[in-house]
Each structure stands twice: as structure tokens, then as C-alpha cells.
Amino acid sequence: MGKIDLSIGIGGAAGQGIATPGDILARIFVRRGLHLNAYNAYQSIIRGGHIFLTLRTSEEPVLSFGDKLDILMPLNQDTMNRHLRLMRNGSAVLYNSDKIKPGTAAEGVQLCPFSVKELTPDTKGDLVQNTIALAAVLRLIGVEFKMLDDILTLQFKRKGETVIAENLAVARAGYEYAANRFRPFPFSLPRTGKPLAFFEGNQALAMGAAAAGVSFYCAYPMSPSSGVLHWMARHARQLGIMVRQVEDELGVINMAIGAAHTGCRAMCATSGGGFALMSEALGSAAMMEIPVVCINVQRAGPATGVPTKTEQGDLWQVIGAGQGDYPRIIVAPTTIIDCFKIVPQLFNLVDKFQCPGIIISDLLLSEGRSSVDPAELDFNVPIDRGDVIGLNGSVPPPNGGYKRYQITESGISPRALPGTPGYAHVVATDEHDEEGVLISDEFTNPNKRRAIHEKRMRKMESVLALLEPPQLFGPPEAEVTLVGWGSTQGVIREAIQKLADEERIVANHLQIKWIVPLHAEASSSILSKSKKLIIVENNYTGQFARYLRSETSIVADGHIRKYDGEPFLPHHIVDGVKAILSGATQRYVPVHEIMV
């Protein structure tokens, strides 16, 4: 991290307005050119319960939401009771003393009480304490009031000058009170460069779809994937995208396949329970050789599981989705900007190879938020629709008729969209011959079945060469190699730095993004040189460890697994590496200390 590494926690019950101060802080940080990582731990209820939002900012990219809290803003007594014990020397706790009592704090923790009744006796509303606490925080970290003035003015512009003036008066009272009563942090939040963008992974997936030229999107709302639907619905008219909320996931996937069959790029998203309903249809898309993209944003399972908590427990579900063998491409983005970039790349691949594509994300990545350099958001990406007959003009049909599933050396058959003159063909989910005639209608010819099945599967032989292989991060010579997949990249890399700085343990890291097909040879070549191999993943059974073993015969020396619904923190991985290297265990399961 740079000179600034500041982490702020805001906690309370659902309905207490936690998101607003969090959003304002985030805007202030990114406008100053500071990097940001945010994670909101919340429950499945509209009112009550416990919500805890963590924002971490730094002059350098923030890889995870970290191990520590510098500032705590408890909006109710429950949050104070849960989190005060985690505050350490040099940290600060800002709270409304009218309703919240602090308890015993560790030595060096600055308790910063304020009275809403005394500061703003004429202002009504439960959210006044949020504005006072927010203004006080900004004073503690050296942010000028003008920036808060600008943001509040913009936020309340629609409600009129009276509301703006009222909120600014409340904020000014909190800001000045903090200036006179509380000890500021020994720094002022710097301006480090150009402003950054800030958004969540679901929004990045949706924007990536827009860049890819998606013209049809459908979904049934299921957390934590619903953010994709929200973004699409909000911007559909502007972007010319048809968006449909369908009655269930069976309808969703079949509607997406139907749209893709007509020639448009179509996408849908769900979580594990909804994905279970889509699996047969994904196989039918492969059988009919229709390119479609489906997103599975994982949450803790099985069944309804823990709807608002993260996990990497759907890997084998996605790999085995649908009966029988069929070609598919599966990718697990590793960062929020990766969520944006991976969608156009995957659409180009599924169009070229005429097969379904699956993006496997998780709640941490899809609902987590991060700063991004706007220059990385390239909406003018290359679009490759593959070999589509008549897409760019009329093409006369071949002598002897059109064979939609013609057996070719590459396995890729010439594709004609419905309605292309002279290119009539049969599309069905049964096995068929080159012309689409169902082989079970005449005689279940084993030779035809084998030939067409091999043709379909042969397409996968050419996919791997178009995918960037995984790269080893860190020194080539290391005591331990950490392997992860998907969203764990950032926290593993921060843990590697902690291992080096605090434990004098040299570690490197291999993160897998492309799941199917897997870079088995490239991964084996890298991992065969490892002195000690540890696999890190958010599930109970070590699903990726088993998959890697099945594809490469590589057996890990140790495992760090977490399945309590909360993401890894850097020290979880550090502690796990130390325990495994010491011989204390081969399977380390960290305990999440923050009671969220």
C-alpha cells in the first residue's frame, strides 16, 4: 500500500441509510484519484438485522477490503457491541451518544461521541446522525468541507433549496464539532491524480455486455445476480437492448437461446438455484449449436442457502451442467475490470465456436465495488460473429442444399440465421445428422451419432489456443505457491505481500481464469516447479483442487478453505500458509472474527 491505507466501517440495521454515507465517501475518494475497494455484508431482510459496509482507500490499487478498521461509524447499539472490540490503537469510533453507549475500548482507540439533540435540536429524522458522523469523519481525515458541500448539493438538488440548506447545516454542525472536539488523523487525504470510476461487478458485467453488442437480455431476479438486470433495465432504451424479466429461470434460458438463434447476441444471469433449472437447456444450446452466454453469480448453498453471502461452491455444478458431453466455454473473472473485459471476449468465442458460454462469478465480485481507471473501459472492442452466412450480404446456397451441421475438420459448421434465403434447416434438441434430420426418426445410426458427436466436441480442440494462459505472479523461486480461481486473486496477492513483509516467507501465485477448457499443460509446467503447493478457495470440498487433480494429476500439499459466507481476509491466508508450512495441518479453515 502507499502512504495512505484507510479503512472505514459503517454498520447498522437495514433501513438505517448505510448506503448513502458509503456512497458519498466513495465519491470523495475516487474524485481525489484514490483507489477504493468496498464490500457490504448484509442480510436477507428489508428492515432490521445487521449490515456492515467496509470501504478501504489508498493511493495504490486496493486488492481486498483488508484486515483492519481505522474508523467505525456504528449507527446502532448492535454494531457498537459487535465491532468495538476489533478497533485498535490509533483508530476512531464516531457515534450518536443519545442512543449508543460505547462499552470498553482498547487502549489508544479514540471514542468520538456526538449528540444529535444538542447539535441539531430543530432537525427531525433518523438519518441526521448519518450526516453528522459523515461530516465528522471527513474532518478527521482532512477533507475540506467544500467537497461535501458539492456532493450534498448535487444529491438533494431534486428536493429543492430548503432541503439542501437543511442538510448542509447538519453537515456543517458535525464538521465543526469534530474540528473542536476530536483528534484528527496524522494525515490529510491527498489528491493523487485524475478521478477514477467506481462501480460493482454486476454493473461491469452488464457494461461488458453492452460493449459486446448484446441486444437481448433476460433474467428472473435472484440475488446476487440481480444487479445485472437492474443496470440493463435502467439503460435498455438508451442502448437499444431488449430486456425482459421472465417468470422463472426455465423461461429465461430458453428465451435467451431463442433470441440467440435469430442471430442477436443474447445473455442471461442467475445464481446457483436458478442455474440448476437452466442446465438442460444449456445442453440443448450445444446440441443445436447456438451461441448464448449465461452468468452464474454464486452464493452460499445448497438449496436457498445463504442468499446474501458469498461462496465458490458451484464449480462442479457449472462444469457438469446438463447431461452428456458437450462443448462449452467457462470463465471465472478475477477482478471487477475483468468482469467488463471478459464478456466481449467470451461472446466472440461462443459465436466462433457456436456453443454456450458460462461466466462463473460470486457475490464478493459481483456485489463488491472497486475503483477503475476510466481509460480501461473500452466500449469499442473487436466484434467477431464467426462464420455466419449472409450476415454481411446475400450468399447463394450451395449445390446439393445446405447442411447446417456439416462435418468439418474444425468441427465448426457453416451457420445460417433463420430466414436467410435458400438456407432452410431443422433445429431440434434430439441428435441429428448433418442436415438436422433426427437420427432416431429413421434408425438410430451409431455411425452418424458418433460422427456428429465427434464433430461437436472437436470444436474444443481449437479454443485453448485463443485463450491467454495463466501467468505466475511473484518470484519464480518461492517457498510456497498459492493457487486460486476467480475472485480470490486480490486477497491472495495481498497475503503474499504480508507473508514477505511480516513473516519473511517468499510466496508466488497462480490464478486460474479459464476453467473450461483448462490450460492443463501450462498450469502443470508452472506448478511442477513448486516446492509447496497450497490451493485457496471458498468452498468446503475443495472443488477446484479436485478439478485440477482430474485434469493434471497434480495433488496439492495443503488447502485453505472458507465456507462461512464471508470472503477471505489477507490474514486468513497468511495464517493458513504458516500452519501448513509448520506441519500443523494440511487443511486450514479460518475463523471469521468480525461478527457480521
Residues in the chain: 596
The pLDDT value given to residue 596: 40
pLDDT at 324 over 90: yes
Give the pLDDT confidence score for residue 583 in this predicted structure.
97
The predicted-structure confidence for 446-463, as pLDDT tens digits, reads as follows 999 999 999 999 999 999
Contact 299, 363 (CB under 8 A): yes
Give the pLDDT confidence of 332-364 residue by residue, as tens digits. 999 999 999 999 999 999 999 999 999 999 999
Q: What angle do CA 522, 523, 529 make, to 5 degrees?
A: 100
DSSP-derived letter for residue 515 is E
pLDDT of residue 47: 84
What the block records as the C-alpha cell of 385 is 460473429
511: β partners: 484
pLDDT of residue 395: 81
Summarised one tens digit per residue, pLDDT across range 413-437 is 999 999 898 899 899 999 999 999 9
DSSP codes of every residue in 345-390 = HHHHHHHHHTS-EEEEEEHHHHH-EEEE-GGG----------SEET
Mean pLDDT calculated for residue range 481-507: 98
3-state SS, 287-318, equals HHCCCCEEEEEECECCCCCECCCCCCCCHHHH
Residues 399, 207: Cα–Cα separation, whole Å: 43
pLDDT at 299: 98
> Which grid cell sits at 179?
474540528
Supply the pLDDT for residue 594: 55
Would you say the C-alpha torsion 50, 369, 190, 130 has a positive or negative sign? negative
Q: Which residue in 7, 247, 49, 41 sits closest to 137, CA to CA?
A: 7
CB atoms within 10 A of CB 248: 10
Name the grid cell of 333: 473473472
Q: Round to whole Å and give the CA distance between 554 and 530.
A: 11
Tell me how far apart the alpha carbons of residues 516 and 557 are, in angstroms, rounded to a whole number. 24
Given a contact cutoff of 8 angstroms between Cβ atoms, the answer to whether 212 and 347 are in contact is yes
DSSP letters along 403-449, please?
-TT---SSSPPPEE-TT-TT------SS-B-TTS-BHHHH---HHHH
- Asked whether the beta carbons of 215 and 206 are under 8 A apart, the reply is no
Whether the per-residue pLDDT at 441 is higher than 70: the answer is yes
Across 272-282, average pLDDT: 97
Span 563-580, pLDDT tens digits: 999 999 999 999 999 999
- Between strands 197-200 and 369-372, the pairing is antiparallel
Asked whether 164 and 152 are in contact (CB, 8 A), the reply is yes
Q: Per-residue pLDDT tens for 36-87?
A: 999 999 988 878 889 999 999 999 999 999 999 999 999 999 999 999 999 9
Phi, psi of 80 (to 5 degrees): -60, -45
Q: What angle do CA 36, 116, 182 make, to 5 degrees?
A: 60
- φ, ψ for residue 12 (rounded to 5)? 175, -160
Q: For residues 549 and 469, give the distance between their C-alpha atoms in angstroms, rounded to a whole number.
A: 18
Model pLDDT, residue 2: 46
Q: What is the pLDDT of residue 377?
A: 95
**Side-chain half-sphere CA neighbours of 167 within 13 A:** 23
Q: How far from each other are the two terminal CA atoms of the chain, in whole angstroms?
A: 26
Plot region of 354 (φ>0 → left; ψ -120 to 50 → alpha; else → beta): left
Question: With contact defined as beta carbons under 8 Å apart, do 378 and 425 qualify?
Answer: no
Confidence of residue 371 (pLDDT cuts 50, 70, 90): very high
Burial pattern 467-488, b for ≥16 Cβ within 10 A else e, equals beebebbbeeebbbbbbbbbbb
Average pLDDT of the chain to the nearest whole number: 95
**CA pair distance 70, 1, nearest whole angstrom:** 15
| Cell numbers representing residue 530 in the block | 513448486
CA angle 182, 178, 22 (to 5 degrees): 110
* Phi–psi pair at 124, nearest 5 degrees: -105, 160
Mode of pairing for the β-strands spanning 357-362 and 329-331:
parallel
Note whether 36 and 75 are within 8 A (CB). no
Q: For the segment 137-180, what is each residue's pLDDT rounded down to a tens digit?
A: 999 999 999 999 999 998 888 889 988 999 999 999 999 999 99
Q: For 528-540, write each residue's pLDDT tens digit.
A: 999 999 999 999 9
Give the pLDDT confidence score for residue 39 in this predicted structure.
Answer: 96
Q: What is the C-alpha to C-alpha distance for residues 557 and 577, in angstroms, rounded to an integer?
A: 11
Q: List the beta bridge partners of residue 95.
A: 113
Give the β-pairing of 92-96 and 71-74.
parallel
Beta bridge partners of 508: 481
Q: Residue 265's pLDDT is what? A: 98
Contact present, 496 and 507 (Cβ < 8 Å) = yes
- Say yes or no to pLDDT of 595 above 70: no
Strand, coil or helix: what is 129? helix
Confidence band, pLDDT 50/70/90 cuts, at residue 1: very low
pLDDT in tens, 87-124: 999 999 999 999 999 999 999 999 999 999 999 988 87
Q: Is the peptide bond before 396 cis (omega within 30 degrees of 0)?
A: no
Distances (CA, A) of 350 to 6, 191, 192, 271: 42, 43, 41, 21
Q: Which amino acid is at 188?
A: S
Element (DSSP H or E) covering residue 442: helix 439-442
Element housing 417 (H / E): none
Domains of the chain listed by start with CATH number: 5-181 (3.40.920.10), 198-376 (3.40.50.970), 387-464 (no CATH), 472-588 (3.40.50.920)
**Contact call for residues 92 and 112 (beta carbons, < 8 A):** yes
Helical axes 128-140 vs 161-181, angle rounded to 10°? 50
